Structure 1
Amino acid sequence: MKKVIFVFFLLSSLLWATYNYISFPQDGSKESWNDGPYIFWENDSLQVYFIQNDSLYHKVYADTVNFSESILPYPVKIAKTKFPEVDSLSASKIFALSDVHGQFGVMQKLLKEAHVIDDDFNWSFADGVLVVVGDIFDRGAQVNQSFWLLYKLRNQACQAGGCVILLRGNHEKMIQQNDLRYVNDKYLAKTCKLLNKKYPQLYATNSILGKWL
């Protein structure tokens, strides 16, 4: 019988103790804003929007996006496909984390130290299971970088016999209910304005990330 190693991090204290040491753009700074991609199913195609150096870009793809723009520190393949359902878990190791809150730098550090990912942000956990116990949204300014890495890892994990399970936390539910009290101001002041959408619409069910959530 395989030995199951379960490591669980409740990250709230650690993340916020580390928050001031991570270089996120702050309101009033002159640092340019980069965000995205936001990808929607519209008119039988994938509509891709992303912000680079405060400018909005829009591209259209038939069914598959190989996104490699510099706003993400890793490439990701995005397609109009569904992930396989998880009926049961049988893994030699399980790693779980929660309360990322848009702090991509801390999340990637933890995943690397646990050997879930390698230095190139690729899955290295073999048939292991990564469980994310919600609360990716809010507070930090790197929510999408966090979501897209998990999306990329879920694809790679499936191919390696492993699994990524993303559970909805209370902050995911808050966004769906248009409760924006803890959303980083950059998203509201810049992303929503440039895309001409309300924040919950960026994760609507016609979007890749919204459908997954």
Structure 2
Amino acid sequence: MLSISLIIFNLFTFSLANGDEIQNTIDGPYLFKTEEGIVGKWVEDSTLFQEIITADNYPKLQSKFNFKFGFEALTQDFSSQIDYVQENEGIDSLVAFSDIHGQYDLYIELLKANGIIDNDLNWSYGSGHMVIVGDIFDRGDKVTEVLWHVFGLEQQAEKAGGKVHLVLGNHEVMVLNNDLRYIHDKYKTTETLTSTTYDQLYADNTVLGQWLRSKPVAIKINDMIFAHGGLSPTLVNNDVSIEKINKTFADQILGRDRASILSDEFLELLYRSNGPVWY
């Protein structure tokens, strides 16, 4: 018997950090893949820290940020692991939710309450599948914490015979395409300290950026399709497959210039209000 938990998680009330909270915050790490190795950058108390991350000093980083994965995970080539088809059959335990929007503490509370993780924040859902239907980014002030936890949980689930699915929502697409209207003030501070724009902290030369670019926009589990927005009649009438949707987003939309996207009729269909992340 299929066990399904559909959690309605779509909250839009946030407590914005004041100046003192932003000043004393910690953010990161943002890990860049360079010729010298993996370079880590993070912020503590309005100070930028940077160092090359190796297997030897990784435990220090792991302890600081409570990572749930080993150093080898940072060296993976996620671009070689993209699954455009995204069909999953015979799944008998499934939980789905969306719109975390940087609310890490509430996200953790939600997963604990539904038996997805244990008190040590580790995967406890066995062979079950967990679907995050988009919008980890924007509004809240603990986006990075959520992303790294999902990153680690994904690997724990695989080892247990389960799976974590992160489906890209409109806010993931917005950030990767440099639409930063809804980022929290905390991340504006990070931009200043790192002398870069927020989207470049998730560029395709970063661990999280490459990982996010490997994620689908639509997936099929048993007889259900999951997308952040939905499949509009226009999209369905054009007989566009999940495989084509995911491949087009990965190859021609994510990280691309808005003008070039809107100059193509099919890309515009996927990108705007009748597309799967907005509809």
Q: Give your verdict on TM over 0.5.
A: yes
Aligned residues: 202
Distance 2:77 2:8 in 1: 29
1:158 matched to 2:161? no
Q: Secondary structure at the match of 1:40?
A: strand
Distance 2:4 2:204 in 1: 32
Q: Is the 8 A contact 1:91 1:162 kept in 2?
A: no
Structure having the higher helix fraction is 2
Q: Is the 8 A contact 1:27 1:186 kept in 2?
A: no
Distance 1:147 1:117 in 2: 15
2:46 alignment counterpart: 54
Distance 1:133 1:79 in 2: 24
Q: Is the 8 A contact 1:63 1:80 kept in 2?
A: no
Closer, same or farther in 2 for the Cα pair 1:50/1:90, shift >3 Å?
A: farther
1:41 alignment counterpart: 33
Instruction: Say which one has the larger Rg.
Output: 2
Q: How does 1:24-173 map to 2 (within 5 A)?
A: 26-30=17-21, 32-62=24-54, 65-66=58-59, 67-70=61-64, 72-77=65-70, 78-82=73-77, 88-173=88-173
Displacement after TM superposition at 1:68 (Å): 2.2
Report the residue type matching 1:39 in the other structure.
L
Structure having the higher strand fraction is 1
Query: How high is the TM-score relative to the length of structure 1?
Result: 0.86
Report the residue type matching 1:206 in the other structure.
N
Q: How does 1:3-42 map to 2 (within 5 A)?
A: 3-12=1-10, 15-16=11-12, 19-20=14-15, 26-30=17-21, 32-42=24-34
Displacement after TM superposition at 1:90 (Å): 3.4
Distance 1:163 1:150 in 2: 11
Question: How high is the sequence identity, in percent, across the aligned residues?
Answer: 34
Displacement after TM superposition at 1:92 (Å): 2.8
Gaps of at least 5 residues in structure 2 are 213-279
Q: Is the 8 A contact 1:45 1:63 kept in 2?
A: no
Q: Secondary structure at the match of 2:33?
A: strand
